[in-house]
A and B are shown apart, each in its own frame.
Chain A
Amino acid sequence: MDAILLATQMVFQPDVLVTIVLAALFGLFVGSVPGLTATMATALLVPITFFMAPVAAIGAIVTCSAMAIFAGDIPGTLLRIPGTPASAAYTDEAYAMTRKGQGELALGANLLFSALGGLFGTAVLIVAAPSLAEVALQFSSFEYFWLACLGLTCATVVGTGSTIKGLVSLMIGLLVATIGLNNPAGVPRFTFGSVDLMGGIDFIAAMIGLFAVSEIFRYVLGMSPDTSNVQAPAGNLFTGWGRLFKQYWRQSLRGNVLGTAIGALPGAGADIAAWVSYAVSKRFSKTPEKFGTGHVEGIIESTSSNNAALGGAWVPALVFGIPGDSITAIVIGVLYLKGMNPGPTIFINNPQDIYAVFLIFILANIFMVPAGWAAIKSARLLMKVPRNVLMPTILLFCVVGSFAINNSVFGVSVMLFFGLLGFIMEENGFPIAPTILGIVLGPLLEENFVTSMIKSDGSFLGFFERPLAAGLGIITIAVWIVPLGLYLWRKARS
């Protein structure tokens, strides 16, 4: 109880509240400008959170990402351009509603069910995280090794696109993580005599490059969508909320449950949750023929799902330090920077920090309703932001942000390198998220592997001696072998 009181005091500070409001506006802005993603919003925010107190920093990221995921629906509905990848699943549907003159209904439903989904994900986080943490307390380096493997495997297998390219992306990330002195042996690796490289590749600069700078390159090359013919919704957004809820509460609940579960799966986040939920909604609908013609049912289920996934993704992030998606991968980096090392012990030693995070989640999802309303009302303005001014400004922001981490231009060089790398990778169908997961999880994986090997005297059997480790190990290996087996089986039959 004391911890909850303490957490309330920590959150209801003027500076924390102001930060949350500003981060919300920033998230809404970035989310609703097509071409700027929720992950990019988070990446741009990190250099600033670097200078904040821990609770304010986490609050800013939670609020910003929740708002950006919702705001991605706005240009999706009005222009048929998803503001963030998480909205892509139902963009066509929402745009069809706008063409039928039901834009307000679509956006109103998006707002209501996004907020509800976010609250549901938070509720699961509050219930599941502490009980999982008790299990996690019994974990040793063997279990953490398997968990990290499982997380990284899911990141490559679950994502859309080619698994082999996902694996390459992951290996690039893991390789980047080995650079520097930070390894169990303390040997300089891949530093080529450079003092800057001794400290390793800073993940913030790498992430700004991968998620923000590569996007700027795409804009400069004229690959950003045209946003000139926007239609702003005029009617009342809140009409019919009661009816929608009464009619579609089952879909909303199903979206919430599925979204939270997919979010909690390491490596799969809001975008995949939305795709799966849209498909599920169509499969179980009484009127599947209406899907694709501007029908609100699928939108409700998948918009519930993508916001619920955000809360779900925090479960493995807080309990095990294993990110659920690329946003939580960034969050884990920030938690370490702030001395709030994720893992089960934080639930025992600093429960107030955890409760503060929960509180911020609740606040952010409630604040989403008025802030989202304002964003929808000013949609025409937001979509007309002159991007030829905005993009250079973001680039300057990226440069200064990368500089600020160590106050050295080396960070800017890292940013540029990863910007180019991210651009080339995306052009050729390599997903970026596994790279950032590899950079964040690489050190954890290596440390736990080497520690385990030393403990078990170099015997691989040690990884299966403890029941928990054996269970996790078998699951992980099954995830490796089953898809491969299925592939070979299908090949043999055809």
Chain B
Amino acid sequence: MRINDAILGAVLLACSLAVGLYARTFPAIPGQEYGASVFPTWISIALGLCSAVLIAGGMRQWAETGAVSLASWARSGHHLRSLAITIALVVFYILASTPLGFIPTAFIALVILFGVLGVKPLLTPVLAAGITMVVHYGFYSLLRVPLPWGVLTPWAW
């Protein structure tokens, strides 16, 4: 999905303005001219200039390309749904892994994602369980990453 450069430029311009204004609130180091705000201010100026160039270029192409030119996936409901589910599963992991524990969360997420990507239904639970346990063994037992146990805490090892 290609968004017209003018729109992206406008978003970036708004960002650079926000950054520039916010940077003015940083306290100065007493007796120093160059404190915490110098660098972000410079970045916001540079980003603002770049966005102006993008806007100018995008306006010139507007007649040909329009605001947004959609890639083939953007017109396919199936593909868009797959993307939405993938993102949702990562969010699910962020929210659920601590209360639920790594093993159930990863298992559920993998089962759903395998389903979306068309892995054979019979294979799905076996693969999901296998991969979850291999990753758990690698990171928890070998690398000593404290993956959360959640509801499985009584059976933790």
- Which positions in A face B, CB cutoff 8 Å? 48, 51, 164-165, 167-168, 171-172, 174-175, 178, 183-185, 187, 189-190, 216-217, 220-223, 386, 388-389, 391-393, 395-397, 399-400, 403-404, 407, 409, 412-413, 415-416, 419-420, 427-429, 445-446, 449-450, 453-454, 458
Contacts and interface: CB of A to CB of B under 8 A. Distances in A.
- Give the interface SS of chain B, mostly helix, strand, loop or mixed: helix
Contacts of A403: 97, 145, 147
A398 B65 CA distance: 36
A412 B113 contact: no
Question: What class of interface size applies to chain B in its complex with A?
Answer: 35 or more
B154 interface: no
Given A427-B71, A428-B3, A400 B135 contact: yes
Interface in B113-142: 113-114, 116-119, 127, 131-132, 135, 139
Contacts of A221: 73, 79-80, 82-83
Contacts of A189: 23, 26, 36, 40
A220 B117 contact: yes
Interface in B68-127: 71, 73, 76, 79-80, 82-83, 86-87, 90-91, 93-94, 97-98, 102, 106, 109-110, 113-114, 116-119, 127
A392 B110 contact: yes
B38 interface: yes
A449 B38 CA distance: 10
Contacts of A217: 83, 86-87
B149 to A, nearest CB: 13
Main secondary structure of the interface of A (DSSP, over half): helix
A450 B37 CA distance: 11
Contacts of B54: 164-165, 168
Contact of B43 (A178, A399, A400, A429): A178
Contact of B94 (A51, A386, A412, A427): A412
Contacts of A419: 90
A251 to B, nearest CB: 39
Contact of A391 (B27, B51, B76, B117): B117
B156 to A, nearest CB: 16
Nearest to A404: B145
A223 B82 CA distance: 12
A458 B39 contact: no
